[in-house]
Amino acid sequence: MIEAAPTQLADAIAGGRTALGIEFGSTRIKAVLIGEDHSPIAVGFHDWENQFVDRIWTYSESAIWEGLQACYASLAADVQQRYGVPLTTIGAFGVSAMMHGYLAFDAEDALLVPFRTWRNTITEPASVELSSLFGHNIPQRWSIAHLHQAILNGEPHVPSVAHLNTLAGFVHHRLTGRRVLGVGDASGMFPIDVTTGGYDTAMLARFDALVSGRGFDWKLVDLLPTPVPAGADAGTLTETGARLLDPSGTLQPGAVCCPPEGDAGTGMVATNSVARRTGNVSAGTSIFAMVVLEGPLAAQHSELDLVTTPAGDLVAMVHCNNGASELNAWAGLLGEFAVGLGHPADPSAVFETFFTAALDADADAGGLLAYNYLSGEHLTGFAEGRPLFVRTPDSRLSLANFARAQLNATFASLSLGMQVLWDEGVELDSLYAHGGLFKTEGVASRILAGALNTPVAVGEIAGEGGAWGIALLAEYARNHGGAALADYLNQQVFAGAAITTVHPDAADVAGFNAFAERWVTGLAIERAAVENT
């Protein structure tokens, strides 16, 4: 992927003809530096993990800044090693992060309570009340649901709230001094009116009326960051921001900054899925699908979030809290077993062996059942989760069937939400998949195609994921020349890109449907586990 001559790339780096994207994922913060042809030329990483503190999934504020600096330092070291030049300047910059959740600040920009991430399923009363009030599905993850739940709970910090933000917006504000948010990320805070690109004014008024009389001296719109579309002016990297990003003092300020975006939006960009009738599936700690709609849906559905692309077009989002974490845990166990046998294997080889085995499985996973619920899952009505593996005496237990059951389980909740879209008559021209789950060629993409009964495309370059997507948005902000985002991606980034499309196999479709029927019935087992352990 890094193919240009090192001397040419060194010149581009020294001249600031680059764009940098940093994305805060659930388990890794990743940086991608791209060159003039939009291809990655250097990368940086920092692993981190959420904590479950006082029954809240959170990351500490110190972990955010330490992680940002460590990730950037990793990138700068990669640049120095590859090209022999220090990273002193970048042309454009963007930050992305996990969407949703609750970051509340007082008038001095101090964090009032620990960050409540998207993973928490603690706002059901607020979610139900607001969904009814607005006539618009308000998922438990959304910032407005968290705020209203804090109001319902009588939490003492609420009167002091002066600003709300997402993680991406929070970091962007500290780096640029600008309190703006990409419209895609903003649409996970509060509903967006796609005709204006701003928050829905009628719903804002309903919320203010709902909480009037509680003694708050704020209006909701004053708490929310200003939503802006891709390509809009979102400020520049300030001197303070440059020192926060790079305490060594090497990096200079002045980079053009794109609107901060959520990981859903950057995944759409990284898979060229921002045009109508396109969609993508992103698989990581969570798994979600984004489908760009041609028009409004006929009805309100609790399984579907209505959000937007980074350009502001309407999107139906199927979000599942639980993705590939349980698969990762089992792969880790298999790796330990290999060590115990005296044959340690690289983790990537363990994953490839584990995943590839699924191709030899019975299409219905041999009667095995698996549940990947480490946390609650709103789509099936669980406030908490318990990872489970279940078999009957006549199930056919083998490595292949076990691997197939774990992969099927990863897509099971998603398939329920996607069926709601198919029932609405939504049609797609393409559905792209990205994330580490799809790195083993032809396995997860084939099983996903069977689970959704639709073709699934995987592109080589999208393997760099959302960090690459936000780098593209940064370059777009600096140099889009008036082109629409979809046209820019089609004509300047993805023209001639290598794409592999997997079409659903009839046996896989039938096998997954049989698995899914058992899986839905078996949710009673999952519920019993939650209630009794």
- For 55-70, write each residue's pLDDT tens digit: 899 999 999 999 999 9
The pLDDT confidence band at residue 498, using thresholds 50, 70 and 90, is: confident
Instruction: Tell me the C-alpha distance between 100 and 139, whole Å.
Output: 10
- In this prediction, residue 463 carries a pLDDT of 55
- Any alpha helices (H) in 139-193, and if so which ranges? 143-152, 167-176, 183-186
Percent of the chain clearing pLDDT 70 (strictly above): 98
Is residue 227 scored above 80 in pLDDT? yes
- In this prediction, residue 461 carries a pLDDT of 60
Residues 397-414 pLDDT 10s:
999 999 999 999 999 999
Q: Which of 414-418, 425-429, 461-465 has the lowest mean pLDDT?
A: 461-465
Q: Domain-by-domain residue ranges, the chain?
A: 6-261, 272-322+417-502, 325-411+506-532
Percent of the chain clearing pLDDT 90 (strictly above): 89
Residues 258-293 pLDDT 10s:
999 999 999 899 989 999 999 999 888 889 999 999
Residues found in the chain? 533
Neighbours of 10 (CB within 10 A): 17
Residues 448-494 pLDDT 10s:
999 999 999 997 665 578 899 999 999 999 999 999 999 999 999 99
User: 283 or 80, which is more confident?
Assistant: 80
User: To the nearest 5 percent, what fractions of the chain are helix, strand and coil?
Assistant: 45, 20, 40
Average pLDDT over residues 317-324: 93
- Measured CA to CA in angstroms, residue 183 lies from 312, 403, 522, 526 at distances of 6, 39, 39, 37
Instruction: Tell me the C-alpha distance between 401 and 395, whole Å.
Output: 9
263-270 and 465-479 helices, crossing angle to 10°: 80
The pLDDT confidence band at residue 509, using thresholds 50, 70 and 90, is: very high
The pLDDT confidence band at residue 144, using thresholds 50, 70 and 90, is: very high
Q: Is 232 exposed, middle or buried (0-12, 13-18, 19+ CB in 10 A)?
A: middle
Residues 154-200 pLDDT 10s:
999 999 999 999 999 999 999 999 999 999 999 999 999 999 999 99
Instruction: Please enumerate in sequence order all residues whose Cβ is within 8 A of that of 85, keeping only pairs 6 or more positions apart, or say none.
Output: 10, 13, 14, 79
The pLDDT confidence band at residue 139, using thresholds 50, 70 and 90, is: very high
Backbone angles phi, psi at 298, to 5 degrees: -75, -25
Q: Give the mean pLDDT of the chain.
A: 95
Contact 316, 305 (CB under 8 A): yes
DSSP 8-state assignment for residue 463 = G
Closest CA to 22 of 1, 42, 50, 6: 42
- In this prediction, residue 429 carries a pLDDT of 87
- In this prediction, residue 5 carries a pLDDT of 63
SS3 318: strand
Q: Which of 136-145, 365-374, 436-445 has the lowest mean pLDDT?
A: 436-445
Tracing tokens 């490595």 back to the chain, one arrives at: 399
Asked if domains 6-261 and 272-322+417-502 share a fold, the reply is yes
The tokens for 178 are: 């600008």
Is residue 294 scored above 60 in pLDDT? yes
DSSP 8-state assignment for residue 504 = P
Dihedral angle, C-alpha 450, 456, 460, 465, nearest 10 °? -90
Q: Tell me the one-letter amino acid at 493.
A: V
Tell me the CATH number of domain 272-322+417-502, given options 3.20.20.140, 3.30.360.10, 3.30.420.40, 3.90.980.10: 3.30.420.40
Instruction: Tell me the C-alpha distance between 400 and 355, whole Å.
Output: 8
Closest CA to 269 of 503, 110, 473, 483: 473
The tokens for 152 are: 């319902």
The whole-angstrom distance between residue 337's C-alpha and the CA centroid of its chain comes to 32
- In this prediction, residue 351 carries a pLDDT of 95
- Measured CA to CA in angstroms, residue 375 lies from 49, 137, 303 at distances of 14, 21, 17
Q: Name the architecture of domain 6-261.
A: 2-Layer Sandwich (3.30)
Q: Where are the beta strands (DSSP E) in 3-138?
A: 19-24, 28-34, 40-47, 51-53, 56-58, 92-97, 103-105
Contact 365, 398 (CB under 8 A): no
- Each as own residue / partner, the long-range contacts of residues 416-423 (CB below 8 Å, 24 or more positions apart, any chain) are 416/303, 416/379, 416/380, 416/520, 417/289, 417/303, 417/304, 417/318, 417/319, 417/320, 417/379, 418/289, 418/318, 418/452, 420/301, 420/303, 420/304, 420/318, 421/291, 421/304, 421/316, 421/318
DSSP 8-state assignment for residue 310 = T
Contact 448, 500 (CB under 8 A): no
Average pLDDT over residues 520-525: 98
- In this prediction, residue 4 carries a pLDDT of 53
